Structures are given as structure tokens and as C-alpha cells.
Chains A and B, each alone.
Chain A
Amino acid sequence: MIFPKIKVLHSHGWQYIPDLNDVTLTEEFRGRPELTVTEDMADVEAAAKLCPTGAISVAPFTLDLGRCLFCGECALRAPRNIRFTNDYKVGSTSREALVVTPETKQIDFHKELVRKEIPQLFSRSLKLRQVSAAGDASIEMELNATGNVNFDFGRYGVEFTASPRHSDGVVITGPISKNMAEPLEICYAAIPEPKITIVCGSEACSGGLFSQSKAIDRSFLQRHHVDLWLPGAPTHPMTFIDAVMNLIGKKQRQGNQ
């Protein structure tokens, strides 16, 4: 009975990422795009026409990561103009900062928008309540992964709680269905002040593919202040970890990596 356990333990070894500040994802990963203006923008026009969420604008040339589902088709249509890098640091306190322009070398975090009490109160312990409002399960699994043996975000005191009453904020995933609008509001009301709101995933940021659907009700976001916008389909655990560390003052986004 004990021998099989030793075998599992031995094969398992040490799995965790030793330094969460020093992670590079595979080259295949599609993160922050780089845009280049060329004389002939016909390829970009074709890509903009194809883009399923209308994330690309041609003049001025921008790509809104809050809408982007990172399918990468535009980079195949307009390879001279759009290139996806593996930079996962794409979260920001500002919705506008998610709009990538040809000048963008990194997504600005806009530290000045962080409310003063957030790093003061939550830098050592941040408990979050997640609410899936029509998220497609992949993003929920990625948020679960932030606490798993591999990423172990719990080492910084950031964890997810069962009850909103024990939490310091809410993480919303999904485009927010009408049927979830009321439960979300009730859950948010149960969180003690001061509380933070994190919008996780491009579908949560903009509604994504469902922004025009009649089954969606996004009025919550008009009523409440959002502290963190995280693009992705789904948001990679490292995107979440990086942005939350910036939010609670554990690190400062810098350099062009």
C-alpha cells in the first residue's frame, strides 16, 4: 500500500514553477500582438472583415484585446501588419489600455488607477470569490490552475474562497448572461467593503462573441467600478498572476518582455 505512493511521489518530483516572475511561455502562445503600419493596408482590411468580434480597426490601426479571442487568424491574413508575441502580460487597470496601437510595446498597467487602499490592505492576503456568468469552463479551469501545484499562486496569499463574505473581491468570467445577472449582483453585495472587481477573459471584458446576444445582460459593469481587465480566451494563469501581483503592489510591470 505504501510502495505505490512512493512511486507516485518519486515520479512527481518537484513540479512547481520556482519563480513566477521568470516565466516564458511557448513560442506558439498567442499573447500581446505587435502592429505595423504598411503602405498598403489591404491585408488589414481583409483581417478586420474576418475578425469574429470586430476587434480590429483599420484607420487608425488598432486591435482591441478586450474583444480579441486570440484565434490568430488576422496574423495569418496580414502577416506584415499583425504578429502575436508570447507576452502574456496583457492585464490592465484601464479598459482603454487594452487597445493595442502600432506604438504599443507593452500593455500599460496604469498603476495610478489602483485605489490606494488595495496594496495597503491586500498585498499580503487577497481572497477572491469567482463568479462564472456564462463562462465556457475553460476560463474557470485556468483560474483553478492558478492555485494548483504548478503555479501555486497561494504562495503570495492570493486564493479563492467559497463564500463571498470571506472574500475581498469578485472575479467575473463569461459575457454575463441574463440568467446570472441577479445572482452576480447578490454575490457582489455580500462582499464586505472595500472590495475589488476583476473582469477575467475577453468575453467578460466585452461580451466577446455574445456582445449582441439578447441573452446577455452586462449592466453590472455599468453600475460597478472595475479594478482589473484581463483579456484572453481563456485568460492564461500567468496573465492573471502577473496582473494581480501588479494590482496588490507585489511587482511593477516594466521593460519590454
Chain B
Amino acid sequence: MHYYITNNTSTEAVAIKDIPEVEYATLYNDLKERLKQEQYHVAHYFATPDENRLMFYIVLLDDKEHQIMLARFAMEYYDDIALPSLTALHPALHPFEREITELYNVHFGSMPWDKPLRFAEARRNRNSTIDNYPFYTIEGESLHEVNVGPIHAGIIEPGAFRFICNGEKVLHLEIALGYQHRGVESEFTSTNNRLRQTLLAESIAGDSAIAHTSAFAAAIERLSDNAISDSLATERIVALELERMAMHIADTGALSMDVGYQLGQVACEALRTMTINTTQAWCGNRFGKGLIRPCGTNKPLTKEKVEMILSNVEQISRRYAEVSDDIQSSPTLLSRFEHCGIVPQNEMQRIGGVGMAARASGLLRDIRSSHPWGAYNTEPRHDSCTMHDGDVMSRLKVRCEEVQQSAQRIKSLLEGYTTSEKHLRPDYECNLKPSHLSFGLIEGWRGEICHVALTDDKGQISTYKIKEPSLHNWLALALAVRGEGISDFPICNKSFNLSYCGHDL
């Protein structure tokens, strides 16, 4: 089957007419075989109305050849034919097919489970609401159910968890999401104010504001033929790695808290504060809001800021190494973290897991190495850190190593860095190429973030689709807790730390 081939270093959007339009059967047969190989995975798959047709787009990634492959197919808007479901063969497509069914009433034949994805405002079935969702149940005298949420015990976003337990052991966990649904994607297309769209990107998931806005900016820059300078690309990567450090440290602290290791918790809280205050001293916001802007920046690095970042990062990296050494030499912690919440590599691949959770299971999914952009595309190449056990400890160890890698990356990018005061200012007025498809593909701290923008014949954004790494990884959490004691759920959950709002949009 023929795909349109591009890659993550491309500075151009793709004309929609150049994307081959195929028959669904052709795509189905191609993906059926292709997705058996580890090198391929689907970054995005969605449908959008196109006059009186429904057009489906697929963004397939070839990790080995570093290629992004695009294809599309169409069906009549009111056609009532069932397309054979790919989920049955490759569960990685499950969330995508569920979304298409929820929004457009398209049925996939032999779809194992067409549960609504997020009870979106635009869903077709108005009778299905989040409040009356029927959870999966199992009958049995020895079984009981535990409901958690949607409001959780801590200060955290809402989501409903239903456990089916046999004694202390979790047999099955079902996660129902959608409480955080704000209509982000439709807000992108209801405005032409580019600044408003930028701020929407910043609020997709506040803990990944830099990553999501970088993906948005990349999509806009491709659509407007605005290739950014190398130094701006470098500064964005420094910001992205600071965000990764802050969140990995926060999660190390959260995991420490949940096993009663207070020293690690407070040390990590203090180190995270130092990291986000570094970002704040750079751009005025602890989460990097205001830092990434399309086609330019309002916050260029100055010599003083470079020195401040370098000295803070050096200290954070040294002190964090002490905490991670302590964790890895404390038997009481290891006994909680090891062999707990295991997701094996083949399972991770089947369900389409991405990012640091996938790497902890030995599945190498890392856009920085498979589809490098900006400074990741120059030597030294990013050497992704992978573990093999897929347990809570592996996910913690990936964090420990990645904090050091990020610190090293920031150091190598900023040492001897010549600040450029002549950065372009952001451009909110630039015209976008009409009838094009553009994308932004970024490795955020959770994993792969893929934004896709389509423009209409007037150059307005007509469809904006966001894929957060949490979309697939929520199922990994549900699998991780199977067979574990329910009291281990908190550490399993924190070891993934997935986004609710990024999933619910």
C-alpha cells in the first residue's frame, strides 16, 4: 500500500491532495500485517467531516526508518456500513476506533468493546452519559467491587476507577474517563486568534504545557513555512528537558510518599520546586506557560539566564542522584517497588503503550531517538533508556536515569551557548497554507505527543486533533494492577502518573 512519506525534520506541511486516498480494505490488510512488527505504531487515527463525506486520516510511524507515513480513506457521511475493526487484531487502535464511533456513529464490525471514549459533548448517543455508565461486572460469591472516584482522595484530577477484587487481590480494573472533557479540540477551530490557540495548547495538560505547545508551534510553523532558527529550536529543547526533570522528580517524590519514605518525598519536593522555579525565573511561570510561542519567542535566553539554568541544573542533578542512590539501596523501598505492577513488553506493544512507561517495559518508544527533531537530530544522538521488568521499580529507574540524561542534555546544549538576542517575536498573524495537513510530534515527559492540524481552502484550521500519551497508557495501568493487592494501586498509579485532562480534552 502506498503512503505519503515524510519525517519529523521536515519543515513543510503536506497538501491534503497528496495524501493517497485508499480503500478501507487496503488499509485494513496493510495494517493487519504491518502492526505485527515492533517498528510500526499508529500515532494518530481519526475521522473528520469533509463536505458530505467522512474522511479518515491515519498517521503511522516507522521507528526504524524514522518515517512518518500518512494515508486517508473516506466513507459517505450517512453510510451505515460496518467497517471491520482493527482493534480485534491490534488493541492499540482501540481508543481511536472508540472515538470515531462515539463522535460519528461509525460502527466497526466485531469491535470487542465500543465503550465511549470520553463522553464528549459532540457524541452522537445523547442517552449515554457519564453518570449512567454501566461498568463491567463479574458475578461470583467471592468477589466484591470497589469504586474509587470520580473525585479522588488527593488534590488530583477526576476519573472513575472500578475494581473487581477477589479478597485483597485485584481481578480487574476498569477506568472510566471523560470528567475533564472541556471541548479543547473544537475550541481550536472555533477561533482564528492564534494566541488563543497557543494558550489552548498550553492548557491541554498543564503538567506538559511546554511539550504540547511545542507540538502546536511545530504544526503552525510547518503550515506557514516558518522554519525556526537553530538557537530557538535549542531553547525549546532546554525548556522541554526542564519540564521532564521537574515531573520525573515530582513523581519520584510522590512514589516515595506512598510508601512512607518521607525523606525522599521532601527532598524531591524541594528539588522539584527548584526546577520549576528555574523555569519561572526564565519565563515568569512555573509550568513554562508563556515560554513556547509559534514562529518566535518572547522569552529569549540571556547570558544571565543561561548561567542560572546551568548552575541550578547542576545542583538538582547532583542532589537528585543522592536520592535515587538512596532509593536503590533501601531494601524496604525495593520490596514495595520491585515485582509490583508488571506490564510485560509484548502487552505494552499490543496495547500501543508509549513513552517512559513503554521504555520501562523494554519497548523502545521514544520520539527523541526514533523521529528526532531539532537538537536531537545532531550528535550526540539521544540514547533512550530502557528497562526490562516493566514493574514500578523499572518505571522509577527510567525516571532516575532520564533526569540525569536531561540534565546532561541541558548542560551540553547550554555550555558555550551563544545567546541570540535577535530572536524573532512570535507571529500570530501568519497565513496558513490552505488545504494542508500539518503535524507536531514531540516526546514529552510522559511520552509521544502528536498534534494534527488540517486547514480548509481559506487557510483556517478546520480540524485539530491531539493525541496525548495517556490515551494508550491508561490501559497499561489497568493491566498493571491485575493480580496485585488493591493496596498497591496507589504506587502503580503514581508510577504511570497519567493525564486525565489530556485524555478527556
Q: When chains A and B are docked, how far (Å) is the Cα of A138 from the Cα of B207?
A: 5
Q: Do A28 and B284 form a contact, CB below 8 Å, given A143-B155, A209-B199?
A: yes
Stretch at the interface among A93-101, A104-112, A145-153, A249-257: A145-153
User: Which residues of B have CB within 8 Å of A130?
Assistant: 155
> B298 within 8 Å of A by Cβ?
yes
User: Which residues of B have CB within 8 Å of A178?
Assistant: 121, 181
> A72 within 8 Å of B by Cβ?
yes
Closest to B284 in A: A28
A-B contacts counted at CB < 8 A amount to 201
User: Chain B's nearest CB lies how many Å from the CB of A171?
Assistant: 8
User: Which residues of A have CB within 8 Å of B156?
Assistant: 132, 140
User: Chain A's nearest CB lies how many Å from the CB of B123?
Assistant: 10
User: Which residues of A have CB within 8 Å of B270?
Assistant: 12, 15, 149-150
> B193 within 8 Å of A by Cβ?
yes
> B488 within 8 Å of A by Cβ?
no
Interface residues of A in 198-234 (CB under 8 A from B): 203, 208-210, 212-216, 233-234
Q: Do A11 and B319 form a contact, CB below 8 Å, given A72-B298, A213-B186, A216-B182?
A: yes
User: B266 to A131, Cβ gap below 8 A?
Assistant: no
User: Which residues of A have CB within 8 Å of B158?
Assistant: 131-133, 180, 183
User: Which residues of A have CB within 8 Å of B284?
Assistant: 26, 28-30, 70, 72, 84
> A71 within 8 Å of B by Cβ?
yes
User: B266 to A12, Cβ gap below 8 A?
Assistant: yes
Stretch at the interface among B136-144, B324-332, B473-481: B324-332
User: Chain A's nearest CB lies how many Å from the CB of B316?
Assistant: 11
Q: Do A29 and B181 form a contact, CB below 8 Å, given A149-B269, A215-B121?
A: no
Stretch at the interface among A1-9, A36-44, A56-64, A117-125: A1-9
* Bitwise interface map of B from 195 to 226 toward A, beta carbon under 8 Å scored 1, else 0: 11001100111110100000000000000000
Count A interface residues, CB 8 Å.
68
User: B206 to A179, Cβ gap below 8 A?
Assistant: no
User: B120 to A136, Cβ gap below 8 A?
Assistant: no
User: Which residues of B have CB within 8 Å of A154?
Assistant: none
Q: Do A214 and B267 form a contact, CB below 8 Å, given A175-B182, A177-B182?
A: no
User: Chain B's nearest CB lies how many Å from the CB of A248?
Assistant: 19
User: B266 to A137, Cβ gap below 8 A?
Assistant: no
Q: Do A182 and B267 form a contact, CB below 8 Å, given A5-B326, A11-B319, A132-B158?
A: no
Instruction: Indicate which residue in A140, A179, A208 contacts B178 across the interface (CB closer than 8 Å).
Output: A179
Closest to A51 in B: B195
User: A8 to B179, Cβ gap below 8 A?
Assistant: no
User: Which residues of A have CB within 8 Å of B204?
Assistant: 136
User: A4 to B155, Cβ gap below 8 A?
Assistant: no
> B285 within 8 Å of A by Cβ?
yes
Interface residues of A in 166-199 (CB under 8 A from B): 174-175, 177-180, 182-183, 187
User: Chain A's nearest CB lies how many Å from the CB of B60?
Assistant: 29
User: Which residues of A have CB within 8 Å of B183?
Assistant: 210, 213-216
User: Chain B's nearest CB lies how many Å from the CB of A195?
Assistant: 16
User: Which residues of B are interface residues toward A (Cβ below 8 A)?
Assistant: 119-121, 130-131, 150-151, 153-158, 178-183, 186-187, 190, 193, 195-196, 199-200, 203-207, 209, 250, 263-264, 266-267, 269-270, 273, 277, 280-287, 289-290, 298, 318-319, 322-323, 325-326, 329-331, 428, 499-501, 504
Pull 7 A–B residue pairs with CB atoms less than 8 Å apart, ordered by A.
A72-B290, A131-B151, A177-B181, A177-B182, A183-B158, A209-B187, A212-B190
